[in-house]
Every structure is written in C-alpha cells, then in structure tokens.
Copies of this chain bind each other. A is one copy, B any other.
Amino acid sequence: MTVNVAVVMTSRGNYARIGPVLHELSDDPEFDLDIINAGASMIRKYGSLSAILRDDGLEISEEMYNVLEGGNPVSSAKTTGLSMVEFTTVLDNLDPDVVITIADRYETMAVTLAACYQNIPIVHTQGGEITGSIDEKVRHATTKLADYHMVSTERSAEVVNRLGEDEDRIYEVGCPSIDIADDIAENADPEYDPQDDYGGVGEDIDVSEDYIVIQYHPVPTQYQSEYDKTWELIEAVDELDVQAFWFWPNMDAGTDKVSKAIREYRDQREPDDIRFYINMRPTHYLTVVNNSACLLGNSSVGIRECSRLGQPSVNIGDRQTGRERGPNVIDVPCETDAIVEAVETQLDAGSYETSSLYGDGDAATKMVDAMREIEYELKGSMDPTRLGLSEIAPPMD
C-alpha cells in the first residue's frame, strides 16, 4: 500500500532542507508524493522554486500565490492566515496520509495547523533546535502540534523529548542539507562561476580570486532596527577589501528595510566589487559558499552546512543564538568594527575540520526509511510522566 505524502514548499530555503527527501520519496514506489509550491517560493524576487523543482524532475501538484505585500509583521501574519485557508482546501482535496512540515518559518505554522485540524498526521523536521527570532516560538509550537519528529542532532532529540514528546515518535536522522553538503564537498567544481548560469546585478566577480558570500536576513522581532543594522553590515563590507556575492534577504518582516538599505548603498556608493543575486538552486548556492573564503551574515547555512564543509563563517547578531555550532563560526554583534575584524580573522583562517554535528550525509535515507516503517496515527494527550509528573486519570475509551 502506497503512502500518500504531501509537502508544501514556501521558500527557497525549504528546498535546501528537504530536497534530498523529496527526491527519495519521488523515486520510491511505496510513496505517492504531492508537492505544493506556495508562499515566497512563488515570488520571483524571493527566488521562485517552480522552475527549479521541475528542472530537477519533481512534479508540482498545485501552485498558490499567497504572500501579502508589505514585508512587515502585519503582512507576515496575514500571509500565514491566507495560506492556512488555501492549504486546508488543497489538503482536503489531496487527502494525504501524512504531511511533512519543514522547520520553523511562519508558513510552516499554516501547513501544520491546516493538517492538524484535519486530523492528518504531521511529520516535522528540524524540531528541538534553539535559536533567536520568532522562528524559535514557531518551532517549539510546531513540535507540540506535530505527531512525528525528524530531528537533526542528538541534543535536538533530547529537547523534543523534554518538551513532552514520546521518544518512540522522535527520529534522529540528521539534516538533509548535510547530504547536499557532502555531495558538494566531494563533487563540486572548485572553479564554478555562477555568473555563467545566473544574471545577477552589479559588478563582475573574478572567481579565481578570494570572494565572500553575504546572506543577511531581517529578524522579525527586531523589525524596527533592521535598516540601521543593515547599514552597520554595509559599512563593514565597504571597508573590507574583498569581492562578494550578496544574496537578497528572505521575505521575513523587515525585508523591505534591509532591501532599502542595500538599494541606497548601491545607488549612493556604486560598490565595484559586489554582485547581487536573488536565488540560485541549492547545489549551486552551496558550491559558491564552499568555494568562497567566508560566509558572512545570519543564515543558518553558516552554522549547519558550513560546519560540515569546514567553511569559515561569521555569524551576525542573535538570529542564530542558542543553535549548536562547530568550530567554524565566529559570532559577532551587528557592529561594523566587530564584523570587519571577524571576517579578516576568517580570511586568514582557511578551512576548518568537517563536523558531524548536523548529520552524516545520509539524513534523507534515514528519514525515508523511518517514514516507510511508521504506521501513521495522531499522537494522544501528553503523558505527564514524560515531564516528570505523576499521571492523573487514565483514558476512558
């Protein structure tokens, strides 16, 4: 009997985190996979995924535009609500046996609730990690709504369990993004030039020389100060004498403030060694990161994939606070001087040793193996003994 699995993609990041799993599910006759593309991954400026998915041989069952303009907390909240309305209809029509919900973005909550209220069992990936930003709240709330947990690290498994989840429903599989990282480390072209495949705007970069990669996202809970923070970063980049590929921010609240600062920077100072990109397919993006001298910003890539690649990374601010990290990361506050100093340190550091913190490169296989064995059913009420408390009344029926 085939298992019908539904997955909703809502950002370019989703694909980097779940891609290997989608390919395994798609190739496996025991599963019938429905991919819905929605949210930011339908919007060109945040990096449309539809063409990439199709090029990679994945079929899309339904596409949906449900991102509200605004780039602020209000539009994020309304996007979640509208997505929830539409995800409900599509899940009702697809009638899957299980829904996979990915990590902790706000649309994650829309998928999770749409499935939860329809009594569809939910598999959640990347639960139990601790970070800054609103993602932190959403991640743990999703853990409490999900029925099965595919976690990335030993510690995450421990956190999920201590939040009251049944250990029989927790699977420590690692992060599928590490599978991609291993493949890159082994096979990627060290002279890959993204300028051949993607336009971008700005100056030509010489990939045979040192360059850094910048990926800085807004922090929704610090939404108001993002314009100033971005300028702290800009001043640092302006001061550093190194080429850069700079990726536009994701659509979290504050995105317009980050973008505005970058546009002003381009307009006013016309930097001569930076090229700006919206999006690349995950393997190309990670190849560029792998070939770079340092990743700068606050993306989790600097902590997850880079720990595996042994790639130097400078992590800004507290978006990633609390997340487990390897020796490759230097943490700095969002201040120009601190950023400059840390990047210079990393440029001298060269590469670090590879780490297995986020998996051994076989996460997709482990996750699909687990999903093949599960007999999907909703979890019951929380067992208070898992919190170290006594039981009250036994179930009746």
Contacts of A43 in B (CB 8 A): 69-70
Q: Are A88 and B110 in contact (CB under 8 A)?
A: no
In the bound assembly, the distance between CA atoms of A1 and B23 in angstroms comes to 34
Q: Name the CB-closest residue of B to A136.
A: B381
CB distance from A43 to the nearest CB of B (A): 5
Q: Are A323 and B130 in contact (CB under 8 A)?
A: no
CB distance from A35 to the nearest CB of B (A): 13
Given A84-B77, A106-B117, A68 contacting B70 (CB threshold 8 A): no
Q: Are A392 and B130 in contact (CB under 8 A)?
A: yes
Number of copies of this protein chain within its complex = 4
The answer to whether the Cβ of A201 comes within 8 Å of any Cβ in the partner chain is yes
In the bound assembly, the distance between CA atoms of A394 and B80 in angstroms comes to 31
Q: Mark A39-81, 1 if CB is under 8 A from B, else 0.
A: 0001110000000000000000011111111101111111011
Contacts of A65 in B (CB 8 A): 68-70, 72, 74-75, 78, 89, 92
The 9 A-B pairs of least Cβ separation, nearest first, read A81-B84, A81-B85, A77-B117, A141-B141, A77-B88, A140-B144, A162-B387, A141-B144, A67-B69
Q: Are B110 and A397 in contact (CB under 8 A)?
A: no
CB distance from A343 to the nearest CB of B (A): 16
The answer to whether the Cβ of A273 comes within 8 Å of any Cβ in the partner chain is no
A76-115 at interface with B (beta carbon < 8 Å): 76-78, 80-89, 92-93, 106, 109-110, 113-114
In the bound assembly, the distance between CA atoms of A113 and B134 in angstroms comes to 11
Q: Name the CB-closest residue of B to A40.
A: B69
In the bound assembly, the distance between CA atoms of A389 and B223 in angstroms comes to 30
Contacts of A114 in B (CB 8 A): 77, 81
Q: Are A201 and B263 in contact (CB under 8 A)?
A: yes
Given A117-B253, A155-B389, A317-B397, A81 contacting B110 (CB threshold 8 A): yes
* Contact pick for A64, options B89, B131, B396, CB 8 Å: B89
CB distance from A65 to the nearest CB of B (A): 5
Q: Are B137 and A145 in contact (CB under 8 A)?
A: yes
The answer to whether the Cβ of A3 comes within 8 Å of any Cβ in the partner chain is no
Contacts of A77 in B (CB 8 A): 84, 88, 113-114, 116-118
In the bound assembly, the distance between CA atoms of A267 and B202 in angstroms comes to 8
Contacts of A159 in B (CB 8 A): 384, 387, 389
Binds B, one of A182-190, A206-214, A331-339, A364-372: A331-339
The answer to whether the Cβ of A194 comes within 8 Å of any Cβ in the partner chain is no
In the bound assembly, the distance between CA atoms of A199 and B221 in angstroms comes to 29
The answer to whether the Cβ of A382 comes within 8 Å of any Cβ in the partner chain is yes
Among A67, A85, A93, chain B packs the most CB atoms within 10 A around the CB of: A85
Q: Are A85 and B82 in contact (CB under 8 A)?
A: yes
In the bound assembly, the distance between CA atoms of A178 and B166 in angstroms comes to 33
